[in-house]
Amino acid sequence: MSAQQGSAAEELFASAYGYDPAGVWAAPGRVNVIGEHTDYNAGFVLPMAIDRYTLVAAAPRTDGRLRLVSSAEDRASAEIAVSELAPGQLATSAAPDKASPDTSWTAYPAGVAWAMLRAGALPADFGGADLAFSSTVPVGAGLSSSAALECATVLALAGLAGGEPGPAELARLAQQAENDYVGVPCGPLDQLASSFGADGSVLFIDTRDLQIAPLPFDLAAAGLTLLVCDTRAQHDLGESGYPARRASCEKAAAVLGLGSLRELGEDGESGTTERALEAARDLLDEVSFRRVRHVVTENARVRAFIDLLAAGPLGGHGADADRALAAGKLMTASHRSLRDDFEVSCVELDLVVEAALHGGAYGARMTGGGFGGSAIALVPLDRVDRVVEAVGAALPQTVFFPAVAARGAHRVR
């Protein structure tokens, strides 16, 4: 995160409100290396926070008003009374030339304030706040711009009230805002990645018990990069098939008599997973079975990826190169499962993945909820130009940048 970005949030605050903020807080977006749509099934995920941040400059108020302004969307601004915060009650636009409220983003910080008040993380007499947001996390790219916005807001409001929630509490409050206020039934992956992120590390998260283990992931030192390929195909989890996929998984678990799909063949003994899937096939319709098969095999792919990391660094020579190639194959298998069994990919994502592989990537997959957004590719540094050229020829609108594992949510100043 650059000092310039922090200054941009402060400058926006001063311009919008006419005085200086009390502080600046930041939270990152994320890529999920592997382990997609497993988090709300109590499964395994492997995300990392990236060096793209949402910052919020903030100061307290005493009149019970929450005022919001963003550097995006032509400096969209909004305002709501703290006493009126409730699910479905969005902040109203303060711009006089707009006939209707701008609801593209305001529900997230409003929802955070509501969730924190409900949980007692803000005092009952919370007097409101002025908040100004600046971000380099692409919106709609499947890189958790909403989680970054939520986590930064939690830290800012807590900081104004004299508190500093730990990363687990931070993630819980942010997820609660998105689930219960915004109405998106996301799992905990995005908020946990944004709050627990660590420089040079991926996070191995068991979402059943929220055990989190940072693992070294210094790809540059190994001659590799994780290339983000933003298709620019917009994705919106609240309007996509995401809620339907979650409901389908929960229904299948109930039919199978399980608390979650994580439990299906989880003892790890040879052949257990395959036998459990075959038994499940007889109890489920074809679509539900394919949803279950993705979750079960995706959990196995995460475990296999972790085993590769435990055996040594991914790299460009000898056994290190073999591990990198194996990791890439797991990523590609993950994409094909998401495409065929879970059906959350799209034409643009499929084009990018296949083009990246044709250009020399070790592996590639969509990342995030799907239905648009970004793909990631594991690429040797000496092949990056070839991969970019191949993907650009297949989908010229694609925007590229390397994903660098970065620090999680924190106070900037």
Q: Which of 127, 186, 130, 119 is nearest to 153 (CA)?
A: 130
Task: Quote the CA–CA distance of 334 and 341 in Å, as a whole number.
Answer: 10
Place of tokens 């996070």: 203
Strands (E), 263-311: none
Determine the length of the chain. 413
Q: How far is CA 55 from CA 28, 65, 79, in A?
A: 9, 20, 19
Q: Which of 340, 305, 148, 389 is nearest to 349 (CA)?
A: 340
Residue 338 has φ and ψ, to the nearest 5°, of -65, -35
Compute and round to an integer the Cα radius of gyration of the chain: 21
Which pair of structure tokens corresponds to residue 60? 């307290």
The distance of Cα 169 from the centroid of its chain, to the nearest Å, equals 17
Residue 108 contacts residue 135 (beta carbons within 8 Å): no
The neighbour count for residue 211, using CB atoms within 10 Å, is: 9
Q: What is the DSSP letter of 366?
A: E
Alpha helices in 96-160 (DSSP H): 107-119, 145-160
Q: Is 190 marked active-site?
A: yes
Task: Quote the CA–CA distance of 304 and 21 in Å, as a whole number.
Answer: 47
Q: Which of 351, 254, 245 is nearest to 298 (CA)?
A: 245
Which pair of structure tokens corresponds to residue 373? 């957004």
Q: Which of 333, 343, 403, 393 is nearest to 364 (CA)?
A: 333
Active site residue: 51, 102, 190, 230, which one? 190
Residue 316 contacts residue 222 (beta carbons within 8 Å): yes
Q: Which residues are catalytic?
A: 190
